[in-house]
Structure 1
Amino acid sequence: MTFPHTLPDLRASQIPPRMIAAEIYRGSSYGPKHPLAIPRVSLVVDMVHAMGWVDENTYLTGPVATPEQLTRFHDLDYVEAVMQAERDQALPEDMMNRFGLGKNGNPIYPEIFRRPATAAGSSIMAAQLIADGGVIHHPAGGTHHGLRNRASGFCYFNDPVLGIYALLDSGLDRVLYVDIDAHHGDGVQIAFAEDERVLTVSMHQEDLWPKTGAIDDIAGGMARNLPIPGGMNDDEMRYVLHEYLINLALSFVPQAIVLQCGCDTLAEDPLSRQLLGNQSIWEVVGAMTRLAPRSLVLGGGGYSPYGVARCWSGVWATVNGIEIPPVLPITAENILRVIKWSHSRGRQPASELFTTLADPWRGGAIRDVVRERVKRLRGYGV
C-alpha cells in the first residue's frame, strides 16, 4: 500500500499491536434465521492463529463489563433488563417494548448479556491498554447502534461509546471516531453530538436502515456524515480516504482514533448494495491508524462469514505490516472450507474465497455524486 509522501506516521511504534477477542463468540448465535446466525469473530481468531500472526503476547482475552462500567453510558434499568433477559430467557411484554429486547432483530438468546458485555468490556480494556499509545484490534466491537436505554440494530450495548468514554476518562480530549460500516453510526453520533472532545464521522449507504446520517446532519457540530449511493467501488473508497478522511484527521489532530470497520460494504454481503473488495478497507485501516498515537480498530457489520473472516484477518495483518500471501496455507484454507452458511450466497462460494485472503481490486469510475458530496463535506471543516 502506498500513501501520499506527506502522510505522517504518529503511531507509538515501540508498542506492538494487540488483538482482543474471547471464546464466548464461538457457537453463540442470535438464532438460526438471524443475519448474525453466522460465525464471525471465531473465524478471525482461528485464521490469525492458523497464519501464525498472533502469540500469547499479542492475543488477549476480553473481560465481561460490569454493570457499573456499562452504566457509564447506559441506564441502569436497561442494563438490569438485559441481565434479566439472559437469566430468564424471557421478559414481560412491557419490558420488551420499552427496551427493544426480543423485538426488531434484537432477540433474546442465551448469551444476550454476556456476549455484548464482553464486547463492551473489551473496548474499555482496549482504551486502557492504549493509554500510552499503540493499536488494538477488537473485531467483536463496533456495535454502533446501541442506545442509552434500548437495544437497536442488533446492538445491545454500545461498545464504541464505552471505549471512547474510557479514553476521555484517561485524560484525552481529542478523539476521532471514523465509521465505514454500510449502516450509519447513529448511536455513537447521538452519544457525542455536542461533546467537543469527540468528532464522529460516518460514511454509509444512504438508503439503508436506520436511514439517518444525511450529509447536512452535523448533530450539534461534532458529527460529519457522508452518505454514499449503492454501488460504491474500491476507487471511490480510495477517493474518500485521500480526499476527505486523511485531511480531516490531519486537521483535527486526534490523540486517539476509533475506527469502526464494518465490512458489510463488501460486494458479497447480503445486507448492502455496495461493491467493495477488502483491499480498500485495508487501505483505510492502514492510513487512519498512522494518524494518531493511539488507535482502536473495531469490527461492526458483516453478514457473509467468508467476507468477515478474510477482511478482518487482513485488518490484523495490515496494522502489523504483515504481507498478505497470494495463496493461503492449507490450515487457513480448511477453516474457510468448513463454513456452513445457509444463505443463497453461501451455497456455491467462489473457489477464491477459500484459497486467498485479498480480493481483486474492485475499481470503477468515481461518480459525480461522490465527488460532489466529498466537496460539500469538506466545506464543513472540523
Structure 2
Amino acid sequence: MTPLLLGSEIYRGSSYGKWHPLRVPRVSTVLDLVRVLGWLPPERFRISPRAKPAALSVWHTPEYLAALEEAEVTGAVDDTTRTRHGLGTVSNPVFPEMYRRPATGAGGSLLAGEILSGGGVVHNPGGGTHHGMPDRASGFCYLNDAVLGILSLRRNGAQRIAYVDIDAHHMDGVEYAFADDADTLLISTHEEKRWPFTGALDDQGIGQVFNLPLPRACNDSEFALARDRVIRPAVEAFAPDAIVLQCGADAVEEDPLSRMALSNTAHWAVLRALLPLAPRVLILGGGGYNPWTVGRLWAGNWAIASGQDIPDRLTPEAEAILRAIPFDGNSRGRNPPDHLFTTLRDTPRPGPIRQDVIDRVDRLAARLGAMPARAAG
C-alpha cells in the first residue's frame, strides 16, 4: 500500500495560548517542508477527519466528551468541571479549538486503523497524545489518540499490537489502557524523574510492559543500546500484526521540556528498525516544543516511511520555511544553531554509555526470554 500522511490545516490556525509550550507550529511545519521538498504528491495525503463523540466514546466517557465540547463552545469551565475533568488548567487550557483540534488528531488515528487493514504505513504527526485519560485531560492531551488508534487497528484485523513510545515523557495513558492486555506489547523509553513520574523500571503490569527510564543527558550511543537490546528484540519476539510508534520529539537535545541529549538520527534509527517488523505501521507525533527540531524530525519520519532521500542541505525554499518560524520560549530558543535551518539531519550525538544505563537495559533484556512466543499460524 502507498504510504499515507494524514494532516489538517486546523494545526496551522490553532494554539493552546500565548504562553503554552504548544503555541509553536508543528504539524503545519511538517506539511510545508515535505511539500516544498516534493515528497507529498496528492495521492499520498489524506485530510485527517474530526472524530465525533460516538467514535471517541470507545474509550473516553460520554460525560468527559460532553464537557470538552461545552468548554469549546462557551470558552470557559466551572470549578466542578476543572476538578473532575482536568480542563481549564495551566497545562490543559481553554482555547477556541480545544475539542476540534484533538478530535482531528484522534480522527486521524482512528482512520489509520481502517486504512491499515490491508497493510502499509500511515504517518499521523498530529497524533501521539499519550497522556489523555478516559475521563480527564492530562499533560496537554485532551484525548488519547494512541489508545484509539490501537483499538481501531484491532477492530480492523490486527490482534497483536506493539506500541513503542520514545517520547521524553512516560506513556501513562496508554499503559493505563493496555497494561493488562496480553495482546499489546508496551515499550516506553523516557527521561527519569520527569512528569508524569510514572513508568518505573520494575513496572510490568499483567501484560507485557517494558519501561526504560533513562538518565538526564542520555546520548545517541545509550539510546542505540536500548534500541538494539530492548526495543527491536522485544518487538521481534512479540511478532506483532501492527506496530504503533509514538515518536515524540522532546528527547532531542534542543527541546525546552526535557534534558535528554539525543539527535533526531537516534529517533530515525528506531523507525528504520521497526518498519520491517510488522505488516502495518502507524507513526504518531507526540511531544516536542522546539518548533525547528519537531518539524525537522517528523519531516524526516515521513521521508523514511515514504522512501525519500534526506538531503545533506535543504533547498532555499525549505530553509525559508524554518527561518520564518518565531520562537521565544527560553534560552534554547535564542541564537539557534544554523543547522536547524539548513538541514533536516542532525549530526549524531554519541557518547559514553554509563554503567547505570547498561544495568537497566540488562534487566529488561533478561525479561525478554520470559515473553510467551506467538503460536504458529
Are 1:19 and 2:5 counterparts?
A: yes
1:373 aligns with 2:368: no
Q: How many residues align?
A: 368
Matches within 5 A, 1:40-51: 40-51=26-37
Q: Distance in 2 between matches of 1:318 and 1:232?
A: 24
| Displacement after TM superposition at 1:104 (Å) | 4.2
For residue 311 of structure 2, the aligned residue among 325, 332, 336 is 325
- DSSP-derived class of the 2:231 partner: helix
RMSD, aligned α-carbons: 0.9
The one-letter amino acid of 1:191's match is A
Match of 1:304 among 277, 290, 303: 290
Q: Is the 8 A contact 1:27 1:39 kept in 2?
A: no
Quick one: distance in 2 between partners of 1:310 and 1:56? 21
Which residue of the other structure, out of 92, 113, 116, is the alignment partner of 2:78?
92
**Do the aligned partners of 2:178 and 2:207 also contact (CA within 8 Å) in 1?**
no
Corresponding residue to 1:32 among 18, 26, 32: 18
Paired-residue identity, %: 48
- 2-structure distance, mates of 1:172, 1:328: 38
1:12: which partner in 2? none
Aligned-partner Cα distance in 2 for 1:335–1:171: 40
Q: Mind listing any 5+ residue stretches in structure 1 that lack a counterpart? A: 1-14
State the partner residue of 2:277: 291
Confirm whether residue 277 of structure 1 aligns to residue 263 of structure 2.
yes
Q: What is the distance in 1 between the residues matched to 2:49 and 2:81?
A: 27
Q: What's the counterpart of residue 145 of structure 1?
A: 131
2:88 and 2:208 map into 1 onto residues whose CA distance is 33
Q: Which of 330, 337, 342 is the aligned partner of 1:350?
A: 337
1:8 maps to which residue?
none
Structure 2 match to 1:237? 223
Higher mean displacement: 345-354 or 357-366:
345-354
- Equivalent in the alignment of 1:167: 153
- Equivalent position of 2:375 in the other structure: none
1:339-379, Cα deviation, whole Å (9 max, x unpaired)? 00012322311111111111101101111111111110122
Given candidates 167, 172, 184, the residue that maps to 1:181 is: 167
1:59 is displaced (CA, Å) by 1.0
Q: Does 1:336 align with 2:317?
A: no
Structure 1 residue 36, shift from structure 2 partner: 0.5
Equivalent pair of 1:20/1:61 in contact (CA under 8 Å): yes
**Scaled by the length of structure 1, what TM-score is found?**
0.95
The residue number in structure 2 matching 1:9 is: none
C-alpha contact 1:277 1:359 (8 A) present in aligned 2: yes
- Cα distance between partner residues in 2 of 1:197 and 1:246: 17
TM superposition score normalised by structure 2 = 0.96
Find the counterpart in structure 1 of residue 121 from structure 2: 135
Q: Secondary structure at the match of 1:289?
A: helix
- C-alpha displacement of 1:140: 0.8
Asked whether the equivalents of residues 182 and 206 of structure 2 are also in contact (C-alpha less than 8 Å), the reply is no
1:380 is matched by which residue type in structure 2?
A: R
